Amino acid sequence: LMKLLTKQDLKGKCVLVSAGPTREPIDPVRYISNPSTGKMGYAIARAAEHRGAKVILVTGPVSISPPENVEIHQVMTALEMAEVVLAQAERADIVIKTAAVGDYRCETEAEQKIKKTGDCMTLDLVPNPDILLELGKRKGKMVLIGFAAETEKLTAHAQEKLRKKNLDMIAANLIGPSDSGFGADTNKITCFSCGGASETLGLMSKEAAAHAILDKATDFLPECGV
Ligand code: CTP
Ligand code: CA
């Protein structure tokens, strides 16, 4: 029934969505991560499937239930996410990266549980690959959409990421207000497009935000372009 009520504007298109956090192991019982719940990415994957797309969902560890009729690839670390996303993106017409990817990983993962000594300790971290930056370099006709969660200077930071990563659009929101960002059911998003346009979506459910973002994404598809 859902399908009968929803426009099928993504029929024949392949949409890749990345979602959730990554986990960067410290030792067998500890990791570095972030509070991403995957809700925004799962909402986009579900909405794209309802609109007729073939959907590939690459997801870090989350506790919400997966959308139906989508191809799911479960990953743990940023390196694993990079490998899967870069391989699968070749099939995609639209790539939407909502995942909160760990920027750093431990240089080495301890084989055994690290014992406390009572002294201060230091973790040696090395940078993870920036998946979206890599996709931007080999973009071709692919529509590329990023997300940015910021605590300050939303516009400046979002526009910088849009430019640097060669994106068509970036959906940005401020972290902090309890109705927006990590774990919230609603989201107040501002979309910055490569042409310079920006639009702030009102406070809306993540489902409505997902459809609004897909509306914009389809505008960038080659045959719809102006
Ligand atoms: N991203 C990615 N790979 C990374 C880091 C980020 O693909 N290693 C993607 C995210 O999925 C998101 C976008 O890049 O779509 C912006 O992520 P964000 O963390 O806001 O930006 P960074 O470039 O990592 O900058 P910083 O964390 O310093 O603000
Ligand atoms: Ca980051």
pLDDT at 122: 96
CATH level 2 (architecture), domain 2-224: 3-Layer(aba) Sandwich (3.40)
**CA of residue 101 to ligand 2 center, whole Å:** 6
Closest-CA residue, ligand 1 atom 8, reads 130
pTM, two decimals, is 0.95
Give the pLDDT band (50/70/90) at residue 5.
confident
Please write the tens of the pLDDT for every residue from 165-194.
999 999 999 987 566 667 777 778 999 999
Closest-CA residue, ligand 1 atom 18, reads 148
78 lines ligand 1 (CB under 6 A): yes
Please write the tens of the pLDDT for every residue from 190-222.
999 999 999 999 889 999 999 999 999 999 998
ipTM above 0.95, yes or no: yes
The 8 Å CB, 24+ separation contacts for 217-225 are: 217/15, 217/94, 217/96, 217/143, 217/145, 217/168, 217/169, 218/9, 218/10, 218/94, 220/94, 220/143, 220/168, 220/169, 221/13, 221/93, 221/94, 221/143, 222/141
Domain borders along the chain are 2-224
Taking the CA of residue 164 as reference, the ligand 1 atom at the shortest distance is: 23
Please write the tens of the pLDDT for every residue from 111-139.
999 999 999 999 999 999 999 999 999 99
Q: How far apart are CA 11 and CA 46, in angstroms?
A: 14
128 lines ligand 1 (CB under 6 A): yes
Q: How far apart are CA 45 and CA 173, in angstroms?
A: 19
Closest-CA residue, ligand 1 atom 17, reads 148
| Nearest ligand (C-alpha, residue 41) | 1
Q: How far apart are CA 208 and CA 214, in angstroms?
A: 10
